[in-house]
Amino acid sequence: MTNATTNLLYSKEHEWILRLDGNLVRIGISDFAQKELGDIVFVENPEVDDEVTANELMGTVESVKAVSELYSPVSGEVVRINEELEDAPETINEQPYDAGWLVEVELSNPEELESLLNDEEYQAFVNEGEE
């Protein structure tokens, strides 16, 4: 079992999504994903004003084990990036659901949220993979 929070949605690529105001969402990687990656040493996020597309590459996370691709769970425009990760990428390991968030996106297609997993569904998905 991994730590997750019930007010989040999840992708099968292990990104989480928190709805903010209006069509604004915050995206990060799940506790399960950061544990699988190990110690994170570098994050490459998209830039502010970049367009991201659901299920397409938006950046990478590098750990001592490997480089992992980040896929956007939604489509829209990046309005904010977590600049703190440039100097402290290990924040993702320490606080994946808080200070370790990656980007904020203004959704272009809010209906995409309906295809994401809730906490219970995500936990079941993760547990299936661990069996």
Q: How far apart are CA 131 and CA 118, in angstroms?
A: 20
Cα angle 38, 42, 48; round to 5: 130
pTM above 0.85, yes or no: yes
In tens digits, what is the pLDDT along the chain, a chain of 131 residues? 355 567 899 999 999 999 999 999 999 999 999 999 999 999 999 999 999 999 999 999 999 989 999 999 999 999 999 999 999 999 999 999 999 999 999 999 999 999 999 999 999 999 987 65
Domains, in order of start, for the chain:
9-109 (2.40.50.100)
